[in-house]
Amino acid sequence: MKKSWFWLAAILMATAISCNGQTERTKGKNLAINQDKLQPAASTGEVVNQAPVHITKDDFLKLIMNYEKNTENWVYEGEKPCLIDFYADWCAPCRITSPILEDLAIEYAGRINIYKVDIEKEQELAAVFGVQNIPTFLFCPMEGNPTISSGIANSPEATKTMFIKQIEELLLKGKNSSAI
């Protein structure tokens, strides 16, 4: 029972400190893959991206799920489980999560992909997933349906711990777990 109350309190707190859909315009940067963050994976030699990758609707349709073709069922197109961050540059909690996701992209390189979707530039994607508060995170496992969550914890450390728990439970499901 105490565990249920803890999670309820954590969810309420995360929701309270997340951004809502404000209308301020983004003065964005060029959002491309950082070539300096491409490194070979230690175990396979495969080149993996060690930074979150900014994606567009077209990228999403190819890399994640073609929701225009598969209107009834979730059909995951990815080669690895992924975490998708729906964000905006003006959102303070989004700016807090950015370096955390960069760290996690390095720690989980080769095992999961981390993507970022700018909701101001990709409004259709945000609408398809009902994103009303940001940051919102979509966890896409290799099998089964995705899980969506929004908001962050009360500190960067707690937020990183929250992400690690969600990655391990929702994406890796105990396989190849890492103690971080």
> Residues 31-64, buried b or exposed e (16+ Cβ, 10 A)?
eeeeeebeeeeeeeeeebbbbbbbbebeebbebb
179: in domain: no
Q: What mean pLDDT is reported for the chain?
A: 79
- The answer to the question of residue 17 being in a domain is yes
Distance CA 125, CA 130 (A): 9
13 pLDDT above the threshold of 60: no
| Residues 45-76 pLDDT 10s | 454 557 899 999 999 999 999 999 988 899 99
Q: Does residue 65 belong to any structural domain of this protein? A: yes
pTM for the model stands at: 0.72
Q: Is the pLDDT of residue 158 over 80?
A: yes
Active site residues: 91, 94
The answer to whether position 79 is within a domain reads yes
- Plot region of 174 (φ>0 → left; ψ -120 to 50 → alpha; else → beta): left
Query: What range defines the domain where residue 133 resides?
Result: 2-21+32-172
Please state, as a whole number, how many other Cβ atoms lie within 10 Å of the Cβ of residue 168.
18
178 lies in a domain?
A: no
Averaged pLDDT, 90-96: 96
Domain-located, residue 100: yes
Domains identified in the chain, total number = 1
Residue 26: inside a domain, yes or no?
A: no
Can you give the CATH number for the domain in which 44 is found?
Answer: 3.40.30.10
Higher pLDDT, 108 or 6: 108
**Confidence at 173, pLDDT banded by 50, 70, 90:** confident
Say if 89 falls within a structural domain.
yes
